[in-house]
Amino acid sequence: MIPLAHGTLRRAYESRGRINRLNWSQGVQWYGSGQRSLAYAAILTGVMSTERTGGSLFAGTFGAELALPLLTSARNRTISIAAPTDIEGQAVAYAMADHALLGDGLFVAGAYLDDSKSQLGGVVAQTVLRYTVIICLIVPAIVVIGDSLTDGAISRAIQSIFGGGG
């Protein structure tokens, strides 16, 4: 994520004609965390209160402790993007973050950030496959329920259409 963030930050400064004002030492910062680290959230809260940030990205294994930095982000009126993998963190992100990447949003984040055709093609392929699986699960359920209500009339109709049944 750090190289992606540096590249995005550099492009933003270049598009505004202010590349000479970019300070790499203050642009993107990384703070490692332990699992369920309330101390980590407290450190983020303190840093976010003293540093001038344009936004925050929280991605990884976050639980309820994600509420602390998201609250600080809201108080500082900065954009927050949260992509937690745990269900508690997803609930907090949905309620408090400006943009929450939940579920498959985590896996299509590249398409949000880049306009490349391969990224968009991957998203389209995932969507087509998702709906194909849904249809493959729903159609047999409809046939079974319909057969139980109509004494097998739906199965007989399908057999007569496609042949078979001996």
Tell whether 82 is covered by a domain: no
pLDDT tens for each residue of 71-85: 999 998 999 999 888
The whole model's pTM is what?
A: 0.52
Give residue 55's pLDDT band: very low, low, confident or very high (50, 70, 90): confident
**Amino acid found at 3:** P
> Is it the case that residue 112 has pLDDT exceeding 80?
no
Q: Looking at residues 131-147, what average pLDDT do you find?
A: 94
Q: What is the pLDDT of residue 1?
A: 46
Tell whether 142 is covered by a domain: yes
Q: What is the pLDDT of residue 25?
A: 60
Q: Count structural domains, the chain.
A: 1
Tell whether 135 is covered by a domain: yes
Tell whether 34 is covered by a domain: no
> Is it the case that residue 38 has pLDDT exceeding 80?
no
> Is it the case that residue 165 has pLDDT exceeding 70?
no
Average pLDDT of the chain is 82
Tell whether 52 is covered by a domain: no
Give residue 143's pLDDT band: very low, low, confident or very high (50, 70, 90): very high
Give residue 96's pLDDT band: very low, low, confident or very high (50, 70, 90): very high
pLDDT tens for each residue of 7-33: 777 788 888 888 777 776 655 555 555
Tell whether 55 is covered by a domain: no
Give residues with Cβ within 8 angstroms of 98, minimum separation 6.
Answer: 73, 79, 80, 81
Q: Which domain holds residue 161?
A: 115-166
Tell whether 101 is covered by a domain: no
Q: List, in sequence order, the alpha helices (H) in the chain.
A: 2-15, 24-27, 38-50, 67-75, 87-96, 109-113, 117-150, 153-162
Tell whether 156 is covered by a domain: yes
